[in-house]
Amino acid sequence: MDFVNQVIQGDCETVLENFPDNSVDLIFTSPPYADQRKNTYGGIKPDDYVDWFLPKTKEFFRVLKPTGTFILNIKERVVNGERHTYVIELILKMKEQGWLWTEEFMWHKRNSYPGKWPNRFRDSWERLIQFNKHKKFNMYQEAVMIPVGDWAQDRLANLSDTDKIRDESKVGSGFGKNISNWVGRKKVYPSNVIHMATECNNKNHSAAFPLNLPTWFIKLFTKPGDIVLDPFIGSGTTAVAAIELDRKFVGIDVSEEYCQLSRERLSGVQLQLLTINSKKGTYNNNGNTQSG
Ligand SMILES: C[S@@+](CC[C@H](N)C(=O)[O-])C[C@H]1O[C@@H](n2cnc3c(N)ncnc32)[C@H](O)[C@@H]1O
């Protein structure tokens, strides 16, 4: 497919019209936020946001494979002293389009700047909303396991009788746990709160997210060789993560300047990986490098 491993300039809605149905494995993106950055790449008024976005999510739905996932990084802004409802409205409208609102992850920005506001505290988290076409989708949970942590040494060394059986929830939620299952394990599954610092070293784009963010989701929802689409690619961060993980990418941005910026960044990354892997002898004929 000739759109693979390319950054394409244009409105993603129009560009995607030329893509076949069911052709990408993961859509990971951070769209322009409502009105927020109107001085850089054109803002959309909060009240118009849902109408602006819905035709795009319709195309995303068509091009996503039935086993695929769409992760939307977004946050509602404050308008006239209260949070605007465009994200909530968008979710409801997307459900009407056929999307399942499977899950919501929270990105806790570990290094957000302190500040003082009269009626709220500093905003130090963003949503990553997970949408799917079907209840069964590809998910590789082992790929994002984390070290069990120091708590385990003490907690698992002193197990009570209850810890050794499945302890059903006391509030009748149907959830239960058997703590003893974790004895001897070095890794556990993470939660849906992701603690990651923002990155300030990408000076060429005002709204770039940290590389670790797409990396985490690409590992979780794709395998090597899969196709990752970012329809608002900006400085190319999602594509960098995809290349480093031996996935294929497709990037789209309405701004020619950002497309050029992405392409330059990506050729740098590709060259770097080629050099590293040719030294290790792991370069393959597709121009992709092989990672573990
Ligand atoms: C929040 S930024 C993405 C930043 C990106 N995640 C990064 O790490 O650099 C949103 C991007 O969407 C682009 N954009 C705005 N409207 C668009 C449209 N209709 N189609 C494609 N790209 C668009 C903007 O030019 C901007 O680069």
Residue ID of nearest Cα to ligand 1 atom 16: 254
CB 262 less than 6 A from any atom of ligand 1:
no
The pair of three-digit structure tokens given for residue 108, joined into one six-digit string:
């806790």
Q: Do 49 and 133 belong together in one domain? A: yes
How do residues 102-114 score in pLDDT, each as one tens digit? Answer: 999 999 998 877 8
**Using CA of residue 217, residue 221, residue 227, residue 232, what is the dihedral sign?**
negative
Determine the length of the chain: 292
CA of 239 to the centre of ligand 1 (A): 13
Q: Do 19 and 126 belong together in one domain? A: yes
Which of 29, 41, 209, when mutated, tests ligand 1's pocket best, judged by the most ligand atoms within 8 Å of its CB?
41
Q: Do 230 and 267 belong together in one domain? A: yes
Instruction: Flag whether 286 is in a domain.
Output: no
Q: Do 130 and 263 belong together in one domain? A: yes
Q: Do 133 and 153 belong together in one domain? A: no
pLDDT of the residue at 291: 39
CA of 235 to the centre of ligand 1 (A): 8
Name which of 11, 5, 4 is nearest 252 in CA terms. Answer: 11
Q: Do 162 and 201 belong together in one domain? A: no
Helix (H, G, I), strand (E, B) or coil at 102: strand
Q: Do 43 and 168 belong together in one domain? A: no
Q: Write down the pTM of the prediction.
A: 0.88
Instruction: Flag whether 272 is in a domain.
Output: yes
Instruction: Flag whether 292 is in a domain.
Output: no
Q: Do 12 and 136 belong together in one domain? A: yes
Tokens 């997307």 identify what position? Answer: 94
CA-to-CA separations, 143 to 59, 116, 228, 245, 246, in angstroms, rounded: 29, 39, 17, 12, 14
Instruction: Print the domain residue range for 173.
Output: 146-188
Instruction: Flag whether 290 is in a domain.
Output: no
Q: Do 180 and 241 belong together in one domain? A: no
Instruction: Flag whether 257 is in a domain.
Output: yes
pLDDT of the residue at 289: 43
Q: Do 117 and 243 belong together in one domain? A: yes
Q: Do 199 and 64 belong together in one domain? A: yes
Specify the amino acid at residue 119. Answer: N
| DSSP line for 220-269 | HH--TT-EEEETT-TTTHHHHHHHHTT-EEEEEES-HHHHHHHHHHHHHH
CB 210 less than 6 A from any atom of ligand 1:
no
Q: Do 133 and 19 belong together in one domain? A: yes
Q: How far apart are CA 199 and CA 253, in angstroms?
A: 21
Per-residue pLDDT of the chain (292 residues; tens, 9 = 90+): 689 999 999 999 999 999 999 999 999 999 998 775 555 455 799 999 999 999 999 999 999 999 999 999 999 989 999 999 999 999 999 999 999 999 999 999 988 778 888 899 988 999 999 999 999 999 999 999 999 877 666 777 777 777 777 666 666 655 567 777 777 788 999 999 999 988 766 656 777 899 999 999 999 999 999 999 999 999 999 999 999 999 999 999 999 999 999 999 999 998 988 888 888 876 554 444 443 3
